[in-house]
Structure 1
Amino acid sequence: MSEALQQNIAKAEGYLARFKDNTLGHYINGEWTQGQKARPSKTRRRPITLHWGMW
């Protein structure tokens, strides 16, 4: 491999290292947060029904 490619791979590995052990998280109000460990909303319990006849 070329030296430039090796440098780019090393740089990318450095940027991606923070995602190795943690989830992506959220960027809210200018700050990174891991979010809450809450259950998802139960507002929609049924799957979405697609009506192909409408298209």
Structure 2
Amino acid sequence: MVSLLVFALAWTGQFAGHAREGKKPSFTQDLQFLLIGPLWTLRSLWRRLGLIE
């Protein structure tokens, strides 16, 4: 439950920062930017587990 709250607060803070800067988040223009982080993390995990080189 705590992790969900932290997740929601982090997203809220991110959007507040974008609003303050006057810039839209990159992933609204290209879905690729939304997927890069999770894919990078998954690749790192697979390397640690020895599933890929």
What TM-score comes out, normalization by structure 2 length?
A: 0.33
The structure that is strand-richer by fraction is 1
What TM-score comes out, normalization by structure 1 length?
A: 0.32
Determine which structure has more spread, i.e. the larger CA radius of gyration. Answer: 1
The structure that is helix-richer by fraction is 2
Does 1 or 2 have the higher relative contact order (CA < 8 Å, sep 6+)? 1
